[in-house]
């Protein structure tokens, strides 16, 4: 028994230094996988938009026109429709993970137009009036709620358009082009499908204040027209963020 005990002690003595040295060996630092940084909407951006406009226009004799025709409808309200294509410039600022504030401006060529027979002509519908929108511009604020790369927003501000009104009869026709201004409001969604690229879909309503055309009217017996115009626009766009 004493021989066995001595042998065990000798073996334990021989094994102890290697085990102690193993315990003192340096350990490897744990490897952490880097987490993806949260997406930020902050930055300047440019883009392109294209869409479709469906609105209404009407021509009325201005109430300031002297005589019994003042305030009389030259035409009933009529549809004016067409496409739009243009460019966008804007800036977003992400206040916190959920709130995004911004300002956006856009300018679009427009093919929106409509024609209607006059309501006060004995030659109706050979006597017609028409409204055509040549271009449309807006400057709007935006307030959005973000879920990382997904943004839902409301928007509103100023709108302006270059508008042509036309008065045509069997004997003569005339047209005049003027700038009309008003307001716009709408909402949309936007998704950042890459770090610098995003796609959006939005609806905006544009109401332009009435403007007087043909004062005086060059057509024989013609009267001035107070022209109103609005737009209901659905459009899609692609934006590129600089930083």
User: What's the pLDDT tens digit per position in 63-88?
Assistant: 888 888 888 888 889 999 999 999 99
Domain that holds residue 234: 43-57+92-241
- 167: CB partners within 8 A, 6+ apart: 129, 173, 174, 175, 214, 217, 219, 222, 225
Residue 81 covered by a domain: no
> Which of 38-42, 117-121, 167-171, 196-200 has the largest mean confidence?
196-200
Section 157-182 average pLDDT: 92
Structure tokens at 51: 């869409």
Token pair recorded at residue 21: 């040295």
Average the pLDDT over 98-102 and give the result.
97
Question: How many Cα atoms within 13 Å fall on the side-chain side of residue 178?
Answer: 20
Total number of domains constituting the chain: 1
Q: Which residues are within 8 A (CB) of 26 and not within 5 positions of it... i.e. 6 or more apart?
A: none
CATH number where 205 lies: 2.40.160
Q: Does pLDDT of 2 surpass 80? A: no
pLDDT, greater one: 80 or 170: 80
110 is a domain residue: yes
Residues 93-120, mean pLDDT to the nearest whole number:
93
Give Cα separations from 35 to 38, 99, 102, 149 (angstroms): 9, 22, 28, 16
pLDDT, residue 122, reads 56
pLDDT at 3: 43
- Paired tokens of 15: 């094994």
Instruction: Say what the pTM is.
Output: 0.81
Classify residue 76: in a domain, yes or no.
no
């Amino acid at each position: 028994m004493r021989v066995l005990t001595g042998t065990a002690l000798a073996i334990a003595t021989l094994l102890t230094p290697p085990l102690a040295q193993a315990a003192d060996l340096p350990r490897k630092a744990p490897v952490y996988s880097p987490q993806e940084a949260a997406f930020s909407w902050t930055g300047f951006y440019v883009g392109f938009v294209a869409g479709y406009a469906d609105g209404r226009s009407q021509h009325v004799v201005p109430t300031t026109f002297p005589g019994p025709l003042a305030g009389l409808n030259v035409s009933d309200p009529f549809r004016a429709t067409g496409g739009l294509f243009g460019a966008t410039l804007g800036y977003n600022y992400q206040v916190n993970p959920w709130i995004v504030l911004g300002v956006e401006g856009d300018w679009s060529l427009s093919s929106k137009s409509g024609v209607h027979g006059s309501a006060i002509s004995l030659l109706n519908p050979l006597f017609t009036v028409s409204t055509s929108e040549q271009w449309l511009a807006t400057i709007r604020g935006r307030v959005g709620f973000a879920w990382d790369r997904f943004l839902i927003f409301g928007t509103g501000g100023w709108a302006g358009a270059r508008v042509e009104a036309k008065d045509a009869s069997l004997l003569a026709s005339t047209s005049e082009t003027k700038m009309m201004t008003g307001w716009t409001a709408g909402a949309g969604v936007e998704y950042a499908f890459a770090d610098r690229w995003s796609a959006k879909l939005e609806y905006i309503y544009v109401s332009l204040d009435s403007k007087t055309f043909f004062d005086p009217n060059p057509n024989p017996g013609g009267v001035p027209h107070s022209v109103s115009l609005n737009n209901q626009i659905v459009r899609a766009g692609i934006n590129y963020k600089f930083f």
